[in-house]
């Protein structure tokens, strides 16, 4: 029998209840940003400005030109379970607003020093209320324009445990920018600004085309590869863009799905998307997309997740197959290789859209997919907006700050220079020939088969070598040694290359700036999600620096949390070796084959590639004889 004696049951105070609720809704500064931005959207704002300091830990301020909060309701706004958005439980199934639980402001005010300033159209002055760790001060008149400003300072100052869980300002900033991105993508009709410290990182005018806003965040690499789609089936409409399979990601974070104006994550829809891309992407690669789902409110339960990130569909199966078939059919009608343009025939079936350069198709609802297609009237608060209009030229709308311009800066030339200032076009697959003492005569010759394997005679029998696996091993051992000695050659770019990344990924990679420096990769922040690459390993000069950085980012995002620094360096070395090595399918010259075999003899572990796969198979003379029944 347990001797444990529980304390008597007590009703918790409102303050403790709010702190518990805060733990659910307000996980980190980015959660505050999300809630405040959504409140501004709900208030009908056409202009929203976000300011943060120190990754939101010092200050988060959101100013909007929305409806404002009447003086007498200011205290209610920060009372939990007080909302203007629903009245009874039935309304829960008709939610047209972002918020409705009435707990965000109460939670935020409980764990910070919050100031609310607000003025409605009918008031001739504004009113202000301070809430310090949940303690409300009396409401005071103040001067302010119509709309609301909510200022949150010293987040989590009274909940030290929460504070401990916060990451560096850089990381928190990344999450905040991601939250900003999601709201800005969901509401392209709203003018939105993001100020980080003293720097304006995004200044987004109300967008005319969704693709403009997508481009403002992700650059032309994405915006010039958008494939528009629009499909209505019954009451459900799917619109927006998928991204050409040529542009993929190592994770599914660039899958932006919006349900009735709300950013959501949904495993089943992510799965539908991968199914649609099946065969078009390598394993481990994920598609990118920007899709809006318009579904009658009563067919979705948005009240299943504290931050409303996940939802429950009444007819999930139908939505799954609609998404899958829409994307598949769109691919069927799209020239994914950019070659078929030549064979364009005007009256081909299943080509409802003009082919050609992806994204130049002006898409009408896809009537060829579903015979029973009808366009539904959708009760969205946003004005009519063309979600599938394709990019305008020139790229960025006027007024977009230059600091985050995500296109190319200057005329960057891929022709780089090595440390000595010599041009270094990639001459052979052997970036760093080792001056070896191995005489060529000692090296056996080999025969290349299928441009993939090398077959050679050995004293014991015969060996079949996987050219890529072996070369990868050779390079890995070379560069590992150089990194240890601090002698890895890096290549400085004439003009640093800006690379736009999802904000969280940009933050993650910037956190590893020093580690990357050891590998000859120099990066620096450039505002927004843009990172500047100013040098990178010379042996990768065949590669585009942006591509190289993306591979690095993928690795860091994948392994950065689980591996210590040394192992992460090792993983990155594997990645670099793999990229620099000859590929299966590369035809090798006789000299290249000889060089590779020479290097094989110098390898510490010539039998395995850095991933642990074998580099060669050995057939002994005995075994050959046995197989041929000679013995
Ligand atoms: P919810 O959004 O779920 O209703 P919140 O705690 O986020 O709950 O906000 C409480 C209430 O405060 C809202 O219902 C709304 O009436 C009011 N409010 C909050 N922010 C704003 C704003 N920026 N403009 C106008 N009203 C606001
Ligand atoms: Mg809210």
478 with 497, same domain?
no
pLDDT of residue 222: 92
Average pLDDT over residues 151-170: 88
* Residue 360 within a domain: no
Q: Check residue 92 and give its pLDDT.
A: 67
**77: Cβ below 6 Å to ligand 1?**
yes
My answer on whether 75 and 181 are in the same domain is yes
pLDDT digit string, tens, across residues 576-588: 888 888 888 889 8
Instruction: State the pairing for strand pair 113-119/126-132.
Output: antiparallel
DSSP annotation of 417: B
- Is the confidence at residue 370, as pLDDT, over 50? no
Residues 259, 302, single domain; the answer is yes
Lowest mean pLDDT among 171-175, 186-190, 554-558: 554-558
Are 627 and 474 in contact, with CB atoms under 8 Å apart? no
At 277, which CATH number? 3.30.230.10
pLDDT greater than 90 at residue 364? no
Backbone torsions φ then ψ of 233, nearest 5 degrees? -140, 115
Residue 16 CA to ligand 1 centre (angstroms): 21
Task: Note whether residue 524 is domain-resident.
Answer: yes
> pLDDT grade, residue 441 (50/70/90)?
very low
How many independent structural domains does the chain possess?
4
Judge whether residue 171 has pLDDT over 70.
yes
Cα 18 to the center of its chain, rounded Å: 32
The string of pLDDT tens digits covering residues 28-55 is: 999 999 999 999 999 999 999 999 999 9
pLDDT > 80? residue 143? yes
End-to-end, the C-alpha distance of the chain in Å comes to 75
Sign of CA dihedral 84, 90, 95, 96: negative
pLDDT at 257: 96
Whether residue 370 is contained in a domain is answered as no
Q: Are residues 264 and 248 in the same domain?
A: yes
Output b/e per residue, 66-78; b: 16+ Cβ within 10 A. Answer: bbbbbbebbeebb
Residue 377 or residue 109, greater confidence = 109
Q: Is the CB of 105 under 6 A from ligand 1?
A: yes
Mutate to test the pocket of ligand 1, among 47, 84, 87, 131 (most ligand atoms within 8 A of CB): 84
Q: Which domain holds residue 24?
A: 14-202
362 falls within a domain: no
> Against a cut of 0.75, is the pTM above it?
no
Cα separation, 467 vs 448, whole angstroms = 9
Shared-domain flag, residues 591 and 576: no
Confirm or reject: Cβ of 69 under 6 Å from ligand 1.
yes
Q: Tokens 């079936």 — which residue?
A: 349
406 and 328 fall within a common domain? no
pLDDT of residue 113: 97
The answer to whether residues 445 and 576 belong to one domain is no
Å from CA of 39 to ligand 1 middle: 5
Provide the pLDDT confidence category of residue 335 given band limits of 50, 70 and 90: low
Kindly report which listed range (3-17, 40-54, 206-220, 334-348) carries the lowest average pLDDT score.
334-348
Give the pLDDT of residue 1.
56
Q: Which ligand is nearest to the CA of 62?
A: 1
> Residue of the nearest CA to atom 10 in ligand 1?
77
Which residue has its alpha carbon closest to ligand 1 atom 16? 84
| 379, pLDDT greater than 90 | no
pLDDT at 523: 93
Residue 402 scores a pLDDT above 50 = no
Query: Of all residues in the chain, what percent carry a pLDDT higher than 70?
Result: 81
* pLDDT grade for 279, boundaries at 50, 70 and 90: confident
Q: Are residues 465 and 597 in the same domain?
A: yes
In this predicted structure, the answer to whether residue 343 has a pLDDT above a threshold of 50 is no
């Amino acid at each position: 029998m347990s001797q444990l004696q529980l304390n008597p049951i007590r009703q918790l105070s409102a303050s403790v209840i709010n702190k518990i609720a805060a733990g659910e809704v307000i996980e980190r500064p980015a959660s505050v940003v999300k809630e405040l931005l959504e409140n501004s959207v709900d208030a009908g704002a056409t202009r929203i400005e976000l300011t943060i300091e120190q990754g939101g830990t010092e200050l988060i301020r959101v100013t909007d030109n929305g409806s404002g909060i009447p003086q007498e309701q200011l205290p209610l706004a920060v009372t939990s379970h007080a909302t203007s958005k629903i009245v009874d439980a039935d309304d829960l199934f008709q939610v047209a607003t972002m918020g409705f639980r009435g707990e965000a402001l109460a939670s935020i005010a409980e764990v910070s020093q919050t100031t609310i300033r607000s003025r409605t159209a009918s008031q001739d002055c504004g009113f202000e209320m301070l809430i310090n760790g949940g303690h409300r001060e009396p409401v005071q008149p103040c001067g302010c324009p119509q709309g609301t400003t909510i200022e949150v300072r010293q987040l989590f100052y009274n909940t030290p445990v929460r504070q401990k869980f916060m990451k560096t300002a850089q990381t928190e900033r990344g999450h905040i920018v991601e939250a900003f991105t999601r709201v800005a993508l969901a509401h392209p009709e709203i003018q939105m600004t993001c100020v980080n410290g003293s720097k304006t990182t995004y200044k987004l005018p109300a967008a005319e085309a969704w693709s403009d806003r997508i481009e403002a965040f992700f650059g032309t690499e994405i915006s010039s590869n958008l494939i528009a789609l629009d499909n209505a089936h019954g009451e459900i409409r799917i619109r927006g863009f998928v991204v050409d399979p040529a542009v993929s990601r190592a994770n599914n974070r660039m899958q932006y799905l919006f349900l009735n104006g709300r950013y959501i994550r949904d495993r089943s829809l992510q799965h539908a998307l991968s199914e649609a891309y099946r065969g078009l992407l390598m394993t481990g690669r994920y598609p990118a997309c920007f899709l809006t789902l318009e579904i009658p409110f009563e067919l979705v339960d948005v009240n299943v997740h504290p931050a409303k990130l996940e939802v429950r569909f009444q007819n999930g199966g139908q939505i799954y197959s609609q998404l899958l078939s829409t994307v598949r059919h769109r691919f069927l009608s799209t020239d994914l290789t950019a070659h078929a343009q030549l064979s364009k025939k005007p009256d081909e079936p299943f080509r409802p859209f003009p082919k050609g350069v992806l994204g130049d198709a002006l898409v009408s609802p896809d009537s060829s997919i579903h015979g029973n297609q009808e366009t539904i009237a959708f009760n969205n608060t946003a004005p009519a907006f063309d979600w599938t209009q394709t990019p305008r030229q020139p790229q960025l709308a006027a007024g977009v700050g230059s600091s985050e311009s995500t296109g190319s800066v200057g005329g960057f030339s891929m022709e780089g220079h090595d440390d000595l200032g010599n041009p270094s076009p990639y001459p052979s697959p052997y970036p760093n020939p080792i001056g070896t003492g191995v005489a060529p005569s000692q090296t056996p010759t080999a025969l290349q088969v299928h441009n993939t394997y090398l077959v050679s005679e050995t004293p014991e029998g015969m060996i079949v070598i996987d050219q890529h696996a072996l070369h990868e091993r050779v390079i890995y051992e070379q560069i590992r040694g150089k990194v240890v000695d601090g002698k890895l050659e890096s290549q400085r770019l004439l003009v640093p290359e800006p690379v736009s990344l999802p904000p969280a990924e940009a933050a993650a990679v910037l956190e590893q700036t020093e580690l990357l420096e050891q590998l000859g990769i120099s990066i620096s922040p450039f505002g927004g999600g843009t990172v500047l690459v100013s040098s990178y390993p010379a042996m990768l000069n065949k590669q585009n620096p942006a591509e190289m950085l993306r591979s690095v980012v993928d690795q860091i995002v994948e392994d950065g949390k689980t591996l210590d620094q040394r192992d992460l360096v090792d993983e990155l070395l594997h990645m670099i070796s793999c990229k620099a090595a000859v590929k299966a399918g590369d035809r090798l010259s006789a000299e290249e084959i000889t060089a590779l075999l020479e290097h094989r003899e110098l390898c510490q572990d010539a039998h395995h590639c850095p991933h642990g796969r074998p580099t060669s198979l050995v057939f002994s003379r005995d075994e050959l004889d046995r197989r041929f029944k000679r013995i």
